Amino acid sequence: MRSLMDEVTYQAGCPNVLNLSKNIPDCPGGPAGRAGKGQQVRFFTSSADGVTTVRIEGELDAVTVLELRPFIDELVEKKHPRIVIDLSGLRLIDSSGVGALVFLYKKSKEYGGW
């Protein structure tokens, strides 16, 4: 995971907190009206009492969702029993972002998570 992130921090304690962040630079040639706007998505995780909370900030769209997919795959692979998605810091989400979240939901239900 470290190789995919710009910043990784871990804080031991009660609760243990793992923060992962990825900054995505401007994307020339992106969707019309968006190039040069500084598309960014950042995501952070923390775990407490068997619940993994994923906070997503910024813009989650067809360009930035590519950064989130490996992280979602890792959550599914580790079979976290309870996952909470915090979208309070999200400024924009398109159908690609919604699709990634639905994928996470369906996969976690397959192994008995929620």
Residues 93-114 as b/e (b if ≥16 CB within 10 A, e otherwise) read beebbeebbeebeebbeeeebe
100 within 8 A of 68, measured Cβ to Cβ: yes
Q: Which CATH number covers residue 89?
A: 3.30.750.24
Q: pLDDT band at residue 31, thresholds of 50, 70 and 90?
A: very low
| pLDDT of 10 over the 90 cut | no
| pLDDT of 30 over the 50 cut | no
Q: For 6-68, what is the HEC assignment? A: CEEEEECCCCCEEEEECCCCCCCCCCCCCCCCCCCEEEEEEEECCEEEEEEEEEECCCCHHHH
Q: Which residue has the higher pLDDT, 16 or 62?
A: 62
**Tally of structural domains, the chain:** 1
Rounded-to-integer distance, Cα 98 and Cα 95, Å: 5
Q: So what's the pLDDT on residue 87?
A: 92
Structural domain harbouring 63? 2-110
pLDDT in tens, 62-97: 989 998 888 889 888 988 889 999 999 998 999 999
